[in-house]
């Protein structure tokens, strides 16, 4: 049964990843009534990451789950209320923003969208099973675990090539697997040619499977799109860069403007095209997709939300 809550909260945050939890620390400390809606895991993508080596303040690195727990504890200490539920729609009437969730309607004077984005998956056997322990989607985050190891990188666009080049700092060799032809910029293609002793490019091939032995990734089985022949590329780890899927489906019929890949556009105050609705973290157009940047966005958005709420009085 759905419920109708007539309370008008100061701010409702959509998502409870690092961006929203940080924003909630700031708003609740200033006694701004704050409710977060989270559809999956408190801590977002960061909570699902095994080990985070590049988040400031942890000289030995930190487990993703621990960082998520710390952020949650800090936000709750100041009074943040976290509800489980998926926000499905956002509308605005007379300065009040109405959110439809799977548990009913919620109203707020201001809203922060911090729903992140999901990495597009290959959808092949082995991918789900070895997520974050052999199959990765973030080279900056996980590349250093592969010092002197062989890697397979999937994706021939700018991010695939750029990340393959970045991974040469660690890996002994990289096989770059490309579905059609390389679609990266000329500059990147030139750099790729310069790195030909470390990167072997395979074009016009698809991935059938991520192979494993004794619970460890052993490589990828690729299939030629021309001859249909298959072969095994040996690798200790696989990095997939075939695009991002922003978590913005629920905004499709709203007035909130998205960019060409579906990320949310904002002004320099992180306010979206719907006044009173702000955006922070990975889902913001122009975001750098790192936890440190997401928490920075969260803090900025919270301060701008405070200014916005003051302007309503
Ligand atoms: C495998 C992996 C490893 C990574 N390692 C690192 C690393 O080492 N260092 C680093 O800096 N970054 C790393 N990243 C990136 C980092 O996790 C993200 O940059 C960061 O989590 C972004 O925070 P966010 O709050 O913007 O979004 P997210 O963490 O994605 O959180 C968004 C939350 O919103 C929720 N949500 C989405 N839609 C809705 C909805 N409609 N209603 C309610 N809730 C919703 C989601 O369930 C999610 O919990 C890694 C990412 C991955 C996938």
Give the mutation target among 41, 43, 62, 138 for probing the ligand 1 site: most ligand atoms within 8 A of CB: 138
Residue 140 tokens, joined: 């900056």
Stretch 165-190: mean pLDDT? 96
Give the mutation target among 58, 83, 130, 141 for probing the ligand 1 site: most ligand atoms within 8 A of CB: 141
Residue nearest to atom 9 of ligand 1 (CA): 141
* 279 pocket-lining for ligand 1 (C-beta < 6 Å): no
CA-to-CA dists, residue 126 to 96, 107, 235, 238, angstroms: 46, 43, 13, 11
pLDDT above 70 for 38: yes
The ipTM (two decimal places) reads 0.99
Stretch 58-69: mean pLDDT? 95
List domains and CATH numbers for the chain: 3-118+244-312 (3.50.50.60), 121-240 (3.50.50.60)
- Please tell me what DSSP assigns to residue 143: G
For the CA of 117, the closest atom of ligand 1 is 30
pLDDT of 5: 67
pLDDT of 29: 97
CA-to-CA dists, residue 62 to 4, 46, 66, 74, angstroms: 40, 11, 7, 16
Stretch 254-275: mean pLDDT? 96
* 155 pocket-lining for ligand 1 (C-beta < 6 Å): no
Ligand 1 center to residue 204 CA distance, Å?
Answer: 32
Q: Please, which pLDDT band fits residue 1 given cuts at 50, 70 and 90?
A: very low
Say what percent of the chain tops pLDDT 90.
88
Better pLDDT: 158 or 169:
169
Instruction: Pick the most confident of 52-61, 239-248, 296-305.
Output: 296-305
pLDDT above 70 for 271: yes
- Compute and round to an integer the Cα radius of gyration of the chain: 21
Question: In which residue are the tokens 């400390």 written?
Answer: 29
Residue nearest to atom 26 of ligand 1 (CA): 281
Q: What is the mean pLDDT of the chain?
A: 95
pLDDT above 80 for 28: yes
pLDDT above 80 for 2: no
pLDDT above 70 for 186: yes
For the CA of 250, the closest atom of ligand 1 is 41
* pLDDT tens-place string over residues 117-157: 888 999 999 999 999 999 998 887 899 999 999 999 999 99
* pLDDT tens-place string over residues 202-247: 999 999 999 999 999 999 999 999 999 999 999 999 999 998 799 9
* 38 pocket-lining for ligand 1 (C-beta < 6 Å): yes
For the CA of 41, the closest atom of ligand 1 is 49
CA-to-CA dists, residue 271 to 109, 111, 238, 254, angstroms: 14, 10, 37, 15
């Amino acid at each position: 049964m759905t419920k109708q809550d007539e309370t008008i909260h100061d701010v409702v945050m959509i998502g409870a990843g690092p961006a929203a939890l940080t924003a909630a620390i700031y708003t609740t400390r200033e006694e701004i009534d704050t409710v977060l809606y989270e559809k999956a895991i408190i801590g977002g993508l960061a909570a699902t990451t095994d080990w985070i080596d590049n988040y400031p303040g942890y000289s030995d690195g930190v487990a993703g789950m621990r960082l998520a727990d710390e952020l949650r504890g800090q936000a709750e200490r100041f009074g943040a209320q976290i509800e489980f539920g998926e926000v499905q729609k956002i509308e605005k009437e007379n300065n009040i923003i109405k959110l439809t969730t799977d548990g009913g309607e919620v109203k707020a004077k201001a809203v922060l969208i911090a729903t992140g984005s999901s990495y597009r998956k290959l959808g092949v056997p082995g991918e789900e099973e070895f997520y974050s322990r052999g199959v990765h989607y973030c080279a900056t985050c996980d590349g250093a675990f592969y010092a002197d190891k062989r890697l397979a990188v999937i994706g021939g666009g700018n991010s695939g090539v750029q990340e393959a080049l970045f991974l040469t700092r660690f890996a002994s060799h990289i096989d770059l697997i490309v579905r059609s032809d390389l679609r990266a910029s000329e500059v990147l293609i030139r750099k790729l040619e310069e790195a030909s002793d470390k990167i072997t490019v395979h074009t016009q091939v698809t991935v059938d499977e991520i192979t494993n032995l004794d619970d460890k990734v052993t490589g990828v089985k690729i299939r030629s799109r021309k001859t249909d022949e298959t072969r095994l590329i040996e690798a200790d780890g696989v990095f997939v860069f075939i695009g991002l899927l922003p978590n913005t489906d629920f905004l499709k019929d709203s007035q909130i403007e998205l960019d060409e890949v579906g990320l949310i556009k904002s002004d320099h105050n992180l306010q979206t095209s719907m006044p009173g609705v702000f955006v922070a973290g990975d889902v913001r157009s122009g975001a750098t997709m790192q936890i440190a940047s997401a928490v920075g966005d969260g803090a900025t958005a919270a301060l701008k939300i405070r200014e916005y709420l003051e302007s309503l009085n």
